[in-house]
Amino acid sequence: MSADPTVVVHASADLLTAATAARLITALVDVQAEGRVPSVVLTGGGTGIGVLAHVQASPARDAVDWSRVEVFWGDERFLGAADPERNDVQARDALLDHLPLDPARVHAMAADDGPAGGDPDAAAAAYRAALDGRDHFDVLMLGVGPEGHVASIFPDSPAVRSTESATAVRDCPKPPPTRISLTLPSIGWADHVWLITAGAGKAEAVARAVSGADPVDVPAAGARGRLSTLWLIDRAAATDLPPH
């Protein structure tokens, strides 16, 4: 069972990322109030990292017991571990390195100079092993590309058809070309999927995805949570949506 999309429109891109940061803090606090350890899946891209920067700046940041949060990534650029283009490097700079996280609960995807030895298929297999036994995330955040990609899942690609939990991606249209990515099946493990995007350049992708396009053509259309699927966008990204 997956949840139909709900759209929340914010007045600007900065309000979008600030409000999403507040939403994330509250979501994590609420799961911890149930006595569970929340699992959150982070995204790369300017919008996703912007959310993390707002969490870091928030006076409510430490309402979360960060030592009891599981952190995963939706995708990763298959580069050297210290490469500033890596999603986990940017997430650590923006937020994670400022938090008392339990390192054992932070699950980064392998780097091309790490144990995977430059083999993206080995790196994807290692992430599948890290996910082994798991079939649930609490909150999974995704940025959205202008053609509707999410994570590193692009239209009409092997990744959009993958039935694995994580896969290697080659010849990615968005540089760098080689990546590791969750897939639509593992994205669907999430109770709550948040698609976070801003700008007129994303308006067509938003409208096509929300109106139920074929996920092979618009992968964002296939990113749905079990309990909720939220499109968190700004006014510019909402311009192609029907008036409501």
| Given 5, 38, 143, 219, the residue binding ligand 6PG (CB under 6 A) | 143
Residues 67-86 that bind ligand 6PG (CB under 6 A): 75, 77
Q: Which is nearer to ligand 6PG, 39 or 90 (CB)?
A: 90
C-alpha to C-alpha distance for 193 and 213, rounded to whole angstroms: 17
The residue (of 75 and 112) whose beta carbon lies closer to ligand 6PG is: 75
Give 76-129 as a DSSP string: EE-S-TT-TTSHHHHHHHHTGGGS---GGGB-PPPPTTSTTTT-HHHHHHHHHH
Distance separating alpha carbons of residues 181 and 92, to the nearest angstrom: 19
Which residues does residue 39 pair with via DSSP β-bridges, in sequence order? 70
At its nearest, how many Å lie between ligand 6PG and the CB of residue 7?
Answer: 17
User: d(Cα 238, Cα 242) in Å, to the nearest integer?
Assistant: 9
Residues 39 to 68 in contact with ligand 6PG, rule: CB under 6 A: 43-48
Cα separation, 47 vs 49, whole angstroms: 6
To ligand 6PG, the closest distance from the beta carbon of 100 in angstroms equals 26
Does 145 sit near ligand 6PG (CB under 6 A)?
yes
Helix (H) or strand (E) holding 147: none
Contact (CB, 8 A) for 38 and 28: yes
Helix (H) or strand (E) holding 175: none
C-beta of 29 vs 216, nearer to ligand 6PG:
216
Q: Minimal distance in Å, beta carbon 184 to ligand 6PG?
A: 13
Question: Residue 109 CB, nearest distance to ligand 6PG (Å)?
Answer: 11
φ and ψ of 42, to 5 deg: -90, 160
Q: Find the shortest distance in angstroms from Cβ 119 to ligand 6PG.
A: 19
Report the candidate in 143, 171, 140 with the shortest Cα–Cα distance to residue 157. 171
Whose Cβ is closer to ligand 6PG: residue 5's or residue 145's? 145
The strand ranges marked E within 103-208 are 137-142, 166-169, 179-182, 190-197
Contact string (CB under 6 A) for ligand 6PG, positions 153-192, x = contact: ---------------------x------------------
Shortest reach from residue 153's CB to ligand 6PG, in Å: 8
- Identify the residue among 17, 20, 87, 157 touching ligand 6PG (CB under 6 A): 87
The least CB distance from residue 229 to ligand 6PG, in Å, is: 16
Nearer to ligand 6PG, 128 or 174 (CB): 174
Q: Which residues bind ligand 6PG (CB under 6 A)?
A: 43-48, 75, 77, 87, 143-145, 149-151, 174
